[in-house]
Amino acid sequence: MTDSCPDHLSVSQISMLMRCPMQYEWRYIKGVKAPYPVALAQGNAMHRVLQSVNSYFMLKKKWLKEADVADIWRTVWGETQKEVEDWGEESQESVLVSGFDLLRTYLREVADETVPVACEEFFDVKINGESVIGYIDLVEKDSVSDYKVVGRTPSQKDVENHMQLALYCIVKQVKLGQIIALNKKKQEVTVIPAKFNCKEWLGWFGDIIDRYAAMRKAGVFPPCQPDSWMCSEKFCGYYKQCRGASRKKKGVRIQYVQIGGVDPRKAEVEDE
Ligand code: SF4
């Protein structure tokens, strides 16, 4: 492992390793940063504002006014947008407007249903000796929630299998995890709850962490399936230097052993 390989795993790193180990290698082993996309910037900026909203409630026991949230959002987005390197079809103004509309919907429809006791709470736990770190967006007495700024609202099944939420439930020893989806396309905010069996999930995390820690130690990071949605110029910030560079690749040897006829290795049966 190089110096840039972190000595801990975060849940987002584990997710990246599971989606595409080669992408993890570009980012955390080779230390190459992908262009900062507008969707990620908007998500990060909205998380910061929601943190302010929840922190204010914990201090004052009342919610910030919409006009105050609009001011905070304008400031935070004004700072964040300077770092955006990939705007796609968005603009500074379009995100400014849609971001505030979503925050206002959150304040009107969801905030009152929550009683924050902590927000953006940091944790560092060791699972089978491997350090796993993260931040929990919203902690309530009996639940944990994760904000997602999305183009597609996750299904109930997506939430029940949500690794991040499962880990947050384990860390806080609660059974109820919620995704609070802020849908940019539909301009709606949806709370999707799910119950997590912490004992079962901890057992599964043990397997996941062991295997991906072994992968990091071995330094072998295979690519994802070529038909994966993310293996495209639109969704992978490393596409140009990774898969997109394969046309120029030299030195790959292919040997034509037999074309046509009957396979002599009859005993071997391959899965379809
Ligand atoms: S181009 Fe495909 S294989 Fe390469 S890092 Fe991106 S998703 Fe992974």
CATH code at position 107 = 3.90.320
Residue 75 lies in a domain: yes
Ligand 1 atom closest to the Cα of residue 239 is 1
Residue 23 lies in a domain: yes
Distance 134 CA to ligand 1 centre (A): 24
Residue 45 lies in a domain: yes
Q: In this structure, is the dihedral angle defined by the CA atoms of residues 201, 202, 205 and 211, taken in order, positive or negative? A: negative
Distance 209 CA to ligand 1 centre (A): 22
For 86, which DSSP code? B
What's the total number of domains in the chain?
1
Distance 25 CA to ligand 1 centre (A): 10
Instruction: Identify whether the C-beta of residue 221 lies closer than 8 Å to the C-beta of residue 29.
Output: yes
Ligand 1 atom closest to the Cα of residue 224 is 3
What is the mean pLDDT for each group of 10 consecutive residues in the chain (272 residues)? 63 92 96 93 97 98 97 98 92 96 97 97 94 96 97 97 96 98 96 97 94 92 96 93 94 92 76 58
Pocket residues: Cβ below 6 A from ligand 1: 20, 22-23, 26, 223-224, 230-231, 236, 238-239, 242-243
Domain of 190 in residue numbering reads as: 9-215
Residue 55 lies in a domain: yes
Residue 125 lies in a domain: yes
Distance 222 CA to ligand 1 centre (A): 9
Residue 203 lies in a domain: yes
- Tell me the two tokens of residue 147: 């904000």
Q: What is the residue with the minimal CA distance to atom 2 of ligand 1?
A: 231
Which pLDDT belongs to residue 267? 61
Cα–Cα distance measured from residue 176 to residue 169, given in angstroms and rounded to the nearest whole number = 7
Which pLDDT belongs to residue 270? 62
Phi then psi for 165, rounded to 5 degrees?
A: -60, -40
Residue 139 lies in a domain: yes
Residue 231 lies in a domain: no
- C-beta atoms surrounding 7 within 10 Å: 7
pTM over cut 0.85: yes
Q: What is the residue with the minimal CA distance to atom 3 of ligand 1?
A: 223
Which pLDDT belongs to residue 121? 97
Distance 204 CA to ligand 1 centre (A): 26
Which pLDDT belongs to residue 139? 98
Per-residue CA distances from 34 to 3, 17, 37, 53 (Å): 18, 16, 8, 30
